[in-house]
Chains A and B, each alone.
Chain A
Amino acid sequence: QVRLVQSGAEVRKPGSSVKVSCKASGGAFTNYAINWVRQAPGQGLEWMGGTIPVFTARNYAQKFQGRVTITTDESTTTVYMELSSLTSEDTAVYYCASTKFSGYRGGLDRWGQGTLVTVSS
């Protein structure tokens, strides 16, 4: 059973960038999508983007286009999400999550534990 394990909490200053990792342990990458979802304090869930690790394509939510980059290291079965030009509104818990079926279908049935990113001067 593949588990998703994320990197630890981060504190950043406004205008800087943060890179969060998501390691798939217990199995190799497949053609299931790995997605990034965040939840800011008091807000709902927000999809940021995703990738199918065995392919090269990435898909990003329009809101984050130009500011988010999702990359993959197949040798370590790790997916990274980098968010730049941080503001206080990016303070949130960031989750990685994989799909139930191949591609982006069937919902997100496996989740990482979440990574708190705090943006503060």
Chain B
Amino acid sequence: DIQMTQSPSSLSASLGDRVTITCQASQDINNYLNWYQHKPGKAPKLLIYDASNLETGVPSRFSGSGSGTDFTFTISSLQPEDIATYFCQQYDSLPPMYTFGQGTTVEIK
């Protein structure tokens, strides 16, 4: 099975800061990598699909990049409403399955 290593597990940043989270796959996954935001008591929300595509309605301060085994998720200017846990998730096709990263909790410094 493909393993996903997400880092850091938590971070503290100031409002307006640039925040970066990375996800590394144990083998080449092309661009089959998605990013989610999860707030307590709510369902996860898809932010980025296929590594770099911004989901409809998601603010442009969120972005994703990467291909193969190394991926990056960025918040260009941290806002108060961005306090949440962020997960990467890879998709494998044979057989179909998903694996989530361990999550990164983002807090305000």
Contacts and interface: CB of A to CB of B under 8 A. Distances in A.
Most chain A CB within 10 A, of B32, B45, B46, B50, is at B46
Which one of A47, A59, A103, A107 has the highest number of Cβ atoms from chain B below 10 Å of its Cβ? Answer: A107
Between A33, A35, A37, the greatest number of chain B beta carbons within 10 A of the residue's beta carbon is seen for A37
B96 A33 contact: yes
Interface string A77-121: 000000000000000000101001001111111011110000000
Interface in B52-67: 55
Interface of A: 33, 35, 37, 39, 44-47, 50, 59, 61-62, 95, 97, 100, 103-109, 111-114
A44 B43 contact: no
Contacts of A47: 89, 97-100
Size range of the chain B interface in the assembly: 20 to 34
Contacts of A44: 87, 100-103
Interface in B31-87: 32, 34, 36, 38, 43-46, 48-50, 55, 87
A108 B93 contact: no
Given A44-B101, A44-B103, A100 B46 contact: yes
A62 B1 contact: yes
Interface string B91-109: 1010111111111000000
B89 A45 contact: yes
